[in-house]
Structure 1
């Protein structure tokens, strides 16, 4: 596993300045947040912009192997060009060298659709996206949410339905900890080879606080790591902890050093 931090830890900085902070603090990997991805897409052609950003990252010895697709997009919103929008994001991610693109399914909470209807509508959009990625080294990783797609079985339904090599799973430990399916070890073992991305975060079991491990949270991070080792997970051990970023830049650097020590302890 490779230690990684979500780039929105430095949401107040440009994508390039965030990379410089990671380099300064000895981090070789990060996940591109959807905020920073949106900044890059605002600069023009996705492929050209992505290639330029990759060159910058390479020059500063930081690899961006994971990215979060448009966070608030509603996959099943037929009034908007959802598929074309996400194809543009995927073009950016491919140009940057991202291998795992995290995406939320659409719970359609304001509809009267049954669970089966919601699944089929999400699957129809996902099929278009995975067809677009066919033959490419980029996997869309469906994230477990708090009220929809809460467990590994729900996410595996899409994996089995579509049968695409370009579809995988992202475990968000914080989301799982506040769901009715809170068993991290069971989720990891059930997801198995389909687990391609992680959002590591802790909370007290009531709300999504996005905290570092070994604090007042209740996620058993040591069990998480043991289960990941058992299934042979070798991708990014990526932290998503906005609950830790409300402090001066210098203090955020100290926290990165602490997290590095925690990671070394967990994986020794």
Structure 2
């Protein structure tokens, strides 16, 4: 059996995975459709294995990094799911109050990639909070398939309230200076957009390939940095109307499209990851937060 590499995989396979990862097709249909691409020594099993997340080998920050103070906390979300677990991280060396970032996961709960991303942001000089919207259901179950199924049973507007409550927990934390931004990925990109609509005190929002709000755009106060994958036709279809509304309401925003990369290009754990685009997008994100939260 040949060792698979990203260049062996047709774009249609990534599109299939995107449909599966966003609950538009069931696992059985996904496997059946994958069989059409199991040719030339490539098996369905090898395709499945290649496409699924690999967390063990893809961390960018050691969870026991001595420069970090990172641990789980519980905060209350009275309008959402009640008690919410979140990963709170900050630099060990900090002797002043820090600006904060809420880090919002995808549609499968607080998985290891998002934890890693929150720690990575903390090393840049922020206090970060990465909530788990699956907390009312027992928390991220340890694998993305079950996580997606669990998250699909929760109301997304109730989950939005969980992240808004996380914003206020972080804003009032003794180690935070009260200046807060949000970054989110996929579902978390939608949450980031909606927090910009709903939270007037938010000072910066960076949605990565997130669905766009259709109402309340006139209420946005936070500057936006919008990150999109060039091949992500599903999410990108909503951008023209969103941009028109942002312009109409004279909102501050900048947008970046990364050509020839897929939805999820920032996620280190799957073959959709594109290192050059991910590193550029991350550097832009950190620079944006350092400017807007200074």
Task: State the TM-score, normalizing by the size of structure 2.
Answer: 0.34
Higher strand share: 2
Higher helix share: 1
- Specify which structure has the bigger relative contact order, considering alpha-carbon pairs within 8 angstroms and separated by 6 or more residues: 1
